Amino acid sequence: MLVPDTNGRDKAVVMDFGLAKERRADPAIQKLTATGIILGTPEFMSPEQIRGKQLDARSDIYALGIVAFEMFTGKLPFQGRNAQEMMIARLRGTPQTLRQVRPDLPANLEKALARSLATSPDDRFPTATEFAEALTAVAHGDDRGGGGLLGKLFK
């Protein structure tokens, strides 16, 4: 989100990607995000988080993939009329593809976001660095030529 800073200029701040958990949290706080308890923003929760399973960095990559999809399209990759339908769609459904919503975007971007949104954590990027590298590669030039993604988005 963009918010005004003390100089009157906008600055970017992270608002909410589901539910943040401090690594050094005391035992009382750690209980709030324990395995088996579902907490978070339904639109950004990974399938394993919905199921109350063990989470790792790949759950964050999933949430980041949803945020990126929304940033590129203005829409969420899964649809539902309420929080419960959104969670069920994430467990049973297939996300919209990026190019269903924005056919002008490169296929390699669609491929990177699809991998970040894989139902199984084993099929996602193993690290945020690898996800970032895939997005950087798209930004520097897509598979259709034409100057890369950044040039297309910021003409």
- Among residues 47, 39, 20, which one has the least CA distance to residue 116? 47
Q: Quote the pLDDT of residue 144.
A: 45
3-state SS, residue 69: helix
Query: So what's the pLDDT on residue 16?
Result: 56
The verdict on residue 15 lying in a domain is no
In a domain, 121, yes or no: yes
One digit per residue, the tens of pLDDT, for the chain of length 155 reads 677 888 888 877 666 554 444 444 555 545 444 444 455 567 788 999 888 899 999 999 999 999 999 999 999 998 888 878 888 888 887 888 999 999 999 999 999 999 999 999 999 999 999 999 999 999 887 544 444 554 454 34
Residue 90: inside a domain: yes
Distance CA 122, CA 144 (A): 29
pLDDT at 145: 44
**Residue 14 is assigned to a structural domain of this protein:** no
Which CATH number do you get for residue 143?
A: 1.10.510.10
* Sign of the torsion formed by the C-alpha atoms of 71, 113, 131 and 145: negative
Let me know if residue 6 belongs to a domain.
no
Is residue 146 one of the residues assigned to a domain?
Answer: yes
Asked if residue 64 is part of any domain, the answer here is yes
Domain residues for the domain of 103 are 38-153
The verdict on residue 129 lying in a domain is yes
Q: 86: burial class by Cβ within 10 Å (0-12, 13-18, 19+)? A: buried
Task: State the total domains in the chain.
Answer: 1
